[in-house]
């Protein structure tokens, strides 16, 4: 009698995008980019608490810092010329509500800016990702991160549905050190919705895969990051 095929386990994308850790020089570049875009004597709301706010304040801008979630009752409607955030998809889930609050607080002709970074693809990083996908498949695990909409995509869909148009402005690029062991460490320390036994088996198989494909698991690699300011405006 043929054996019944085992249903594959699915890894769900249960958490938002990770909040980036940007080098100090990147923060300086973002601050300079925002200062160039902001009208003089602007009143600005930062949806975070970052060195960027201090830098803009030193340049004469009126900056108010507000921790998320945004509380619109703390401000009168149309209080700000600009509202900006740092990688908003890392810290919010209810995007339609957030977008409605931002629109309520923006003055006519004001804009919302989200400061983001994205890793440029490279052959080495792609090879490591393909290896992890191979191990998941061997263990009959489906990686739903590839199948589900990412938080960034969901956010952009929601804000476009509200009538906003966008403009992306590249601000800076930098290199980050990387190696196969670092890639494995990230997977080892992240939360997994899989049963511990299954996830540990995948990690053990992946460690063997890495050692088979890289003679030195600490061999230096570099990953290029690009920082951009995404501007959103409503007519």
Please name the helix (run of DSSP H) or strand (run of DSSP E) that holds residue 195, with its range, or none. Answer: none
Examine the pLDDT at 49 and tell me if it is beyond 80: no
Please tell me the total number of residues recorded for the chain in this structure.
235
Examine the pLDDT at 204 and tell me if it is beyond 60: yes
Longest dimension (CA), the chain: 78
Please name the helix (run of DSSP H) or strand (run of DSSP E) that holds residue 234, with its range, or none. Answer: strand 221-234
Give the model's pLDDT for residue 87.
84
Task: Indicate if the alpha-carbon torsion angle 105, 68, 89, 116 is positive or negative.
Answer: positive
**pTM above the 0.85 mark?**
no
Comparing CA positions, the residue from 176, 69, 167 lying closest to residue 112 is 167
**CB of 179 closer than 8 Å to CB of 221:** yes
C-alpha–C-alpha distance, residues 192 and 187, integer Å: 9
Q: Is 116 left (phi over 0), alpha (psi -120 to 50) or beta?
A: beta
Give the model's pLDDT for residue 191.
72
Please name the helix (run of DSSP H) or strand (run of DSSP E) that holds residue 30, with its range, or none. Answer: helix 24-37
Average pLDDT over residues 19-39: 87
C-alpha–C-alpha distance, residues 179 and 162, integer Å: 41
User: Which has the higher per-residue pLDDT, 148 or 96?
Assistant: 96
Least confident of 1-5, 13-17, 73-77, 163-167: 13-17
* Backbone Cα Rg of the chain: 21
30 contacts: CB under 8 Å, gap ≥ 6: 22, 52, 115, 171, 172, 227, 229
* Complete domains list, the chain, with CATH: 9-234 (3.40.50.150)
Give the model's pLDDT for residue 68.
75
- How many helices (H) does the chain have, and how many strands (E)? 7, 8
Examine the pLDDT at 89 and tell me if it is beyond 90: no
Please name the helix (run of DSSP H) or strand (run of DSSP E) that holds residue 63, with its range, or none. Answer: strand 62-65
Average pLDDT over residues 153-171: 93
Chain centroid offset of residue 38 CA: 24
């Amino acid at each position: 009698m043929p054996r019944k095929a085992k249903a594959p386990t699915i890894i769900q994308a249960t958490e938002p995008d990770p909040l980036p850790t940007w080098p100090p020089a990147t923060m300086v570049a973002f601050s300079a980019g925002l200062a160039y875009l902001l009208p003089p004597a602007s009143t600005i709301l930062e949806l975070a608490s970052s060195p960027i706010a201090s830098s803009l304040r030193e340049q004469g801008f009126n900056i108010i810092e507000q921790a998320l979630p945004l509380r619109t009752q703390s401000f009168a409607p149309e209080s700000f010329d600009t509202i900006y955030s740092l990688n908003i998809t890392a810290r919010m889930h209810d995007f339609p509500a957030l977008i409605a609050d931002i629109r309520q607080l923006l003055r006519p002709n004001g804009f919302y800016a989200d400061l983001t970074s994205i890793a440029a693809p490279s052959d080495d990083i792609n090879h490591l990702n393909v290896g992890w996908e191979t191990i998941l498949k061997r263990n009959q695990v489906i990686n739903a991160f590839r199948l589900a909409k990412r938080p960034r995509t969901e956010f952009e869909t929601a804000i476009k549905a509200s009538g906003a148009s966008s403009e992306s402005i590249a601000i800076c690029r930098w290199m980050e050190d990387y190696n196969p062991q670092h890639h494995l460490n990230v997977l080892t320390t992240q939360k997994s919705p899989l049963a511990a036994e299954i996830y540990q088996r995948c990690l053990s198989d992946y460690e063997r895969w890495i050692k088979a494909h890289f003679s030195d698991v600490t061999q230096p690699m570099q990953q290029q990051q690009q920082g951009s300011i995404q501007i959103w405006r409503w007519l």
